[in-house]
Amino acid sequence: MKLPKIVLIAGREWTIKLDPKDGGGSFDGTKNIITIGTKYEQDILPTFLHEIIEAMLAEGNYRYSIYANEPMQNFRFVFDHEDFDRIINELSGILKGVIR
Q: pLDDT tens digits for the chain (100 residues)?
A: 789 999 999 999 999 999 999 999 999 999 999 999 999 999 999 999 999 999 999 999 999 888 777 656 788 999 999 999 999 999 999 998 777 6
The CATH number given to whatever domain includes residue 67 is 3.30.2010
Q: What per-residue confidence (pLDDT) applies to 72?
A: 66
Distances (CA, A) of 23 to 17, 55, 70: 13, 18, 23
Q: What per-residue confidence (pLDDT) applies to 20?
A: 96
Residue 81 included in any domain: yes
Cβ(60)–Cβ(83) below 8 Å: yes
Residue 100 included in any domain: no
Q: 13 exposed, middle or buried (CB, 10 Å; 0-12, 13-18, 19+)?
A: exposed
Residue 11 included in any domain: yes
- Distance, in Å, from the CA atom of 24 to the CA atom of 27, rounded to the nearest integer, reads 11
55: containing domain: 6-95
Q: What per-residue confidence (pLDDT) applies to 70?
A: 67
Q: How many domains in the chain?
A: 1
